[in-house]
A and B are shown apart, each in its own frame.
Chain A
């Protein structure tokens, strides 16, 4: 039996259909407006340098007594958690009665070149936590760390356990040297000092290039060929362009923080091997004694599941829960399944610990 069984008429239909879609693209693309994102209303409660802490406003007052502070990664913009009306982790958490705050890191520039991980974690995050606690008149808050922000949240919770009521990590790398971690493989032989000394802040385009090269054909070519299928659908195109904007709307990385992140986390794997110091403090994951919920994605090509799962072996808490989500690194926020499963799971887990 032959492997390829393409009927001639069908092949020509395909070509004609592609032609029709491309013709429609002219019309559709010309009609596209600027994409909007970040749909939920929010108010600024704290600002320092380029860092802003927002409180999101739900349609009704929150019922949760302990607020959640979302700590997003430095490498992308945080509006992924509130991308659009029907794809919003924030909106769904608010609907469940949670009180949601978020740290927006802004876009670092040359003035931020010398910010260290100490400045970020024991500085900005610590003061953001204080700001949220003051705002809600509580002593402890819930931290929700995402990706690199999850690693930062782990460090913060380990160094300041008295300030974290519950810790939630999403798609968070803990073991930075699992065999399937392509990014990790690439940076092991990098002369990080030469790299940062030369570049200063690390350009966002360079970061994005690295991410694209994790799956070069899929992300540089197949994705755009798939676009042909939705070219005549304005709503779908808006969704696509919104995601596209988020992917490439990336901040540069503050040089010193990047230096330490690569050397200590990726090359040294010190978060689990030990010896990690942020400022003058040592980070011991064993000091994390508050309840921990770890959510990771089974098809994550940036943070392989094995890199997250290992958290269970290192935290000091006796109350550890993990959820394996069927999806990818981004799908965990924006897929239909994510909207149904993730916010509810987080809320239920928190509610069970609020009794």
Chain B
């Protein structure tokens, strides 16, 4: 990059700003109040037809962050007229500053956590328990507050007070875990910046320089994600995350219990009651299914199918083997087919006596009719071929079924 960049950039940027009109260019103007300017522009999407509003919101947030990045980067670079050596440093400082409360990319992880729509972690931040902390000038120590909440309660309402104290303690503990989790997020952001520095250093090699704002942004994203992944996969984060979720669930649970009590006082059905009904209903459905046969019946059907298969295989095998004992000229090759053909056209009268039992077995194997029919066919076939099949596959299958019954 030539030094003319910094001498020319300011003029060009000013010219660009003067030429551009509307809220967008206003937003890009250095020093513009980012949220207001962008809100003005995004208000144009008020009636964005059927496009999912959330998608637009997400896009707006992304675009806002990106434009803020471009603005900050150009400002950082444009403010230095000392040549290239000064270019990278302001950007690094910008990112470093944003480890705290920078305007463009403040700690992205800590910001993303509570900001998500539907984030259950965000819901309890403004719980009534927060009231003591919202008092002007009041910033009580959490541990001190907890110790007060551990005091015993007395009298008619002692149970109520005790429950409320427990819920408040749970809220305090949840706040502690939120702070612990945020520390991890800051750690991830810090690590991301370290990696970003390393990646910038790698780009100092000829041919690898960053040549666009977008490439610079993408490089930062790569570094941020790598830093985050390191932290998110750590044992320390595992503990912090588990503690955060568990603390919130404890708090939610206690709040729900209070809501249930109030609901009961007003004669309203509660979630606990509905859950109990659902649980009993599901148990009842399982019992009914079990009484109808359930898994045992499924097993038995599978076993019977196996036996049926074995019988058919045996019969076919025997049908094919038997002619081999007679003189070759008496065994035309097509004779091996009858069992299969028998499924569609039975001609038992024309078959040799030894194969009389075969057609119904083969028919049972392929017939698409109901299970009862197939069982009847199976029984017929078994009676007809009992002597021949006892020593083969059918015997163990039958034993298996008997064993199951015991």
Give the B-binding residues of A (Cβ under 8 A). 1-12, 14-16, 18-19, 22-23, 25-26, 29-34, 110-111, 113-115, 119, 122-123, 126, 130, 137, 139, 160, 162-163, 179-180, 182, 185-191, 194-195, 197-200, 203, 205-206, 208-209, 212-218, 220-225, 227-228, 241, 244-245, 248, 279-281
Contacts and interface: CB of A to CB of B under 8 A. Distances in A.
A10 B5 CA distance: 11
Contacts of B217: 222, 225
A122 B282 CA distance: 15
Interface stretch (B95-103, B197-205, B262-270): B197-205
A1 B209 contact: yes
A163 B204 CA distance: 61
A352 to B, nearest CB: 23
A212 to B, nearest CB: 7
A203 B120 contact: yes
A157 B354 CA distance: 39
A160 B302 contact: yes
Interface stretch (B54-62, B155-163, B334-342, B379-387): B54-62
A189 B243 contact: yes
B25 interface: yes
Given A3-B203, A15-B16, A194-B249, 8 more contacts: A8-B12, A23-B24, A29-B48, A191-B245, A206-B119, A221-B62, A225-B63, A241-B51
Interface in B167-209: 200-206, 209
A96 to B, nearest CB: 26
Contacts of B239: 189
A325 B209 CA distance: 32
A81 to B, nearest CB: 22
A189 B84 CA distance: 49
Interface of B: 1, 4-5, 8-9, 12-13, 16, 20, 24-25, 28, 41, 44-45, 48-52, 54-56, 58-59, 61-63, 65-67, 70, 74, 77, 84-85, 87-88, 91, 108-109, 112-113, 116-121, 200-206, 209-214, 216-218, 221, 224-225, 228-229, 232-234, 237-239, 241-243, 245-246, 249-250, 252-253, 256, 271, 274-275, 278-279, 281-283, 286, 289, 295, 298, 302, 305-306, 309, 368
Nearest to A111: B278
A320 to B, nearest CB: 24
5 contacts: A2-B88, A6-B210, A163-B302, A195-B246, A222-B62
The listed residue with most B CB atoms (<10 A of its CB), out of A123, A199, A217, is A217
Contacts of A188: 238, 242
B119 to A, nearest CB: 5
Contact of B214 (A14, A123, A212): A14
A6 B52 contact: no
A195 B302 contact: no
A253 to B, nearest CB: 13
Contacts, number: 255
The listed residue with most A CB atoms (<10 A of its CB), out of B25, B62, B117, B203, is B62
B305 A139 contact: yes
Given A14-B214, A188-B238, A218-B225, A6 B1 contact: yes
A2 B65 contact: no
A32 B1 contact: no
Nearest to A229: B214
A12 B210 contact: no
The listed residue with most B CB atoms (<10 A of its CB), out of A4, A111, A209, A280, is A4
Contacts of B212: 6, 10-11, 14
